[in-house]
Amino acid sequence: MTALTPELEPLYQAAKAAADQAYAPYSQFPVGVAVRAQDGRIYTGCNVENASYGATVCAERNAIAAGVVAGKRQFDALMVYTPQDKLTPPCGLCRQVIAEFFLPNTNIYSSNHLQQLQSWTVQQLLPDAFTPLYLANSTKVPTE
């Protein structure tokens, strides 16, 4: 477990507020996410479900997309919030998107209504991630 620090408090509060906006009528599993760009700005997203379940979009991807729309391409923190006791990591599809916009050693946090936190690095969540470096015919695999 990780402690909720003053540095993480704004991310926690933003992710919690985003979860309040989740559209989760099918799963009843609201999720909010806050991502912090390198300039300190915070962008949020929530899960948006759909009757055609495959059309559902996760909170992580919505938060990252909000930052991308604002012109950001690199982020240095991500906080997932769910109003349940169990701490929830990002799903596999979100892990791939996270690997696109975060360095491998970036901490990804999961939080809940009890203000508990757990963290992983991007590398821990998705070892040997397929990243843009592979598309550029690079022989170097990202390690930092």
Helix (H) / strand (E) element for 78: namely strand 75-82
Is 50 annotated to bind a ligand? Reply is: yes
> For position 2, what pLDDT does the model report?
79
Share of the chain above pLDDT 90, in %: 88
Helix (H) / strand (E) element for 45: namely strand 42-46
Is 109 annotated to bind a ligand? Reply is: no
Whether the Cβ atoms of residue 63 and residue 44 lie closer than 8 Å to each other: yes
Is 49 annotated to bind a ligand? Reply is: yes
Give the pLDDT confidence of 104-120 residue by residue, as tens digits.
999 999 999 999 999 99
**Where would I find the H helices in 25-107?**
59-69, 92-101
How is residue 132 written in tokens? 């843009």
Going from N- to C-terminal start, the domains of the chain cover: 9-135
- Please give the Cα distance from 95 to 48 (Å, whole number): 18
**Catalytic residue annotation:** 60
pLDDT tier, 136 (very low <50, low <70, confident <90, very high otherwise): low
pLDDT tier, 23 (very low <50, low <70, confident <90, very high otherwise): very high
Is 47 annotated to bind a ligand? Reply is: yes
Give the pLDDT confidence of 69-110 residue by residue, as tens digits.
999 999 999 999 999 999 999 999 999 999 999 999 999 999
Q: Over range 32-46, report the average pLDDT.
A: 97
Q: If DSSP codes are grouped into helix, strand and coil, which group holds residue 135?
A: helix
CATH number of 9-135: 3.40.140.10
When the pLDDT of each residue in the chain is averaged and rounded to a whole number, the result is: 93
> What count of Cα atoms within 13 Å lies in the side-chain half-sphere of residue 82?
20
